[in-house]
Chains A and B, each alone.
Chain A
Amino acid sequence: MPADGCFTPVAPLMTMQAALDLIDARIECGKGSEAIPLHDAAGRILAEDITSERNVPPQNNAAVDGYAFAHDDLGHTALSVRGRAAPGEAQAMLVRGTAMRIFTGAVLPTGADTVAPQELVHLVGDDAILPDLPRGSNCRARGEDIAAGDVALRAGTRVQPQHLALAAALGCATVEVRQRLRIALLSSGNELRSPGLDLPPGAIFDANRPMLKALLHGLGVKTTDLGILPDEPGMILAALEQAARDHDAVIASGGVSVGETDHVRAAIEALGELHVWRLAIRPGKPLALGRIGNCTFVGLPGNPVAAMVCFLRFARPLLLRLAGSGDVRPRLYRATADFAHSKRPGLREFLRGTLTADGKARAFPRHGSALITSLTESDGLIEIDEAVSEIRPGDPVDFLSYAEVMR
């Protein structure tokens, strides 16, 4: 639960790093946990470490189809084949001086320490001519994946398919996960209309809400769509008060941060507190953060490009922290600029761009931050450091792939 005044900014103009540090320092998870079936856990956040109670694999076993034998018997190039070990069967016993037919995954027979792959073995009658192999070849050791007592998965992990495989291999039928965040999503602005309605002169369609809803979906939260707030102070106050009661966070876009007559801002200040962070970034300078009771309020810019940048870089880590995730900072990849660009020093700039397979970052040719096409024709953000004023082709730049943050 955020502490009082947790969104008080630390400087009149904050760098992205300062803002992220503040989010890290001041936001913590307030969600309880629940036990759910492993099969339903994809996308959820582990509330506890998962410690292995057993060895994976449980016994030494064959990594290939072939012949198991004792390496000490390899002085003989041919061993007679006796017995057979298949997966799911109890451990067999190798007669020394012989080899045993074995199949992938079968428990290694007692006395055997090496497996020859069948394609390297020549059979003559009942004998197997064995290749010269190092001891232990083609065997998987008991506990080599996870040993009993090891922490297999850490609390705060957002469960992905591979985590399910490991938890299942450990025998976990249920896992303790954080309860889902409940998020209310709204848009505000007199000029906004939902697609499907008539568009009067001066109005535009609300582009942000479907995008933000999809971004929230990727985070695995429960989202309530409050639509476009009516431009009426009493109704806005009532809607926000109700939303704050039933949700962990309210995400708004449009007008909130700057509009002098904005009713959303007035309502939040009446119900709780609101701070406007002026961020040294472009696009997306103002970000409104506040609280109503225990509910966190995030006001994103109305411009869709700025809304996306602010969601991915600020709202996302904030929400992940609230949700109990330990992995909130996305990974950026170092790329080589395939473009030239001038910017104001002191601001961190987010260009929309693509990353080629050989690590070249190409910027969307037009820089207008209102261009939604710059989002659809890019696959990530080229982040240009505050200190830089000039990018020349060949300079290093950081690339944030949408794939890193749209999940």
Chain B
Amino acid sequence: MKLIYFAWLRERIGIAEETVTPPASVTDVTSLIEWLKGRGPGYALALAKPEAIRVAVNQQYRKGPAPIAASDEVALFPPVTGG
């Protein structure tokens, strides 16, 4: 799964994009964010308020319960630059 981070998410996580293999428990946007938070302090800080993050799966906006698959491209970005 390809993840792309924008704006201050990129700064806090420290990378622009990465390819990950989440565990089977990650099935939707909400569980992806929860899993990512556990990957390190930068992730935890960046994703502390999931409601302030917008998510696009394969270039389409998606909300928390939307399902995701291993072949998806997931973009995470804050709606505003200030964080």
Contacts and interface: CB of A to CB of B under 8 A. Distances in A.
Contacts of B60: 124-125
Contacts of B80: 75-77
Contacts of A78: 54, 77, 79
A90 interface: no
Interface string B57-83: 001110000000000000101111110
A132 B77 contact: no
Nearest to B11: A132
A122 B82 contact: no
Interface in B11-64: 54, 56, 59-61
B81 A125 contact: no
Contacts of A74: 81
B6 A124 contact: no
A125 B61 contact: yes
Contacts of A125: 56, 59-61
A77 B78 contact: yes
A75 B82 contact: yes
A387 interface: no
Given A122-B4, A125-B56, A125-B59, A76 B79 contact: yes
B23 to A, nearest CB: 26
B4 to A, nearest CB: 7
B59 A132 contact: no
A132 B6 CA distance: 10
B59 A124 contact: yes
Contacts of B81: 74-77, 132
A41 interface: no
B75 A129 contact: yes
B78 to A, nearest CB: 6
A124 B78 contact: no
A78 B81 CA distance: 9
B79 to A, nearest CB: 6
A123 interface: yes
Nearest to B6: A129
A124 B75 contact: yes
Nearest to A122: B75
Contacts of A122: 4, 6, 56, 59, 75, 77
Contacts of A124: 56, 59-61, 75
Nearest to B57: A124
Contacts of A76: 79-81
B60 to A, nearest CB: 6
A122 B75 CA distance: 9
Nearest to A123: B59
Interface in A80-134: 122-125, 127, 129, 131-132
Contacts of A129: 6, 75, 77
A77 B75 contact: no
Contacts of B7: 77, 132
Contacts of A123: 59
B61 to A, nearest CB: 6
A75 B79 CA distance: 8
A74 B56 CA distance: 19
Interface of A: 74-78, 122-125, 127, 129, 131-132
17 contacts: A75-B82, A77-B6, A77-B7, A77-B77, A77-B78, A77-B80, A77-B81, A78-B54, A122-B4, A122-B75, A124-B56, A124-B60, A124-B61, A125-B56, A129-B6, A131-B6, A132-B81
Given A77-B81, A122-B77, A125-B59, 14 more contacts: A74-B81, A77-B6, A77-B7, A77-B78, A77-B80, A78-B54, A122-B56, A122-B59, A122-B75, A123-B59, A124-B61, A129-B75, A129-B77, A132-B81
Interface of B: 4, 6-7, 54, 56, 59-61, 75, 77-82
Going nearest first, the 9 A-B pairs with the smallest beta carbon separation are A124-B56, A77-B7, A77-B77, A129-B6, A124-B59, A75-B80, A129-B77, A75-B81, A125-B60
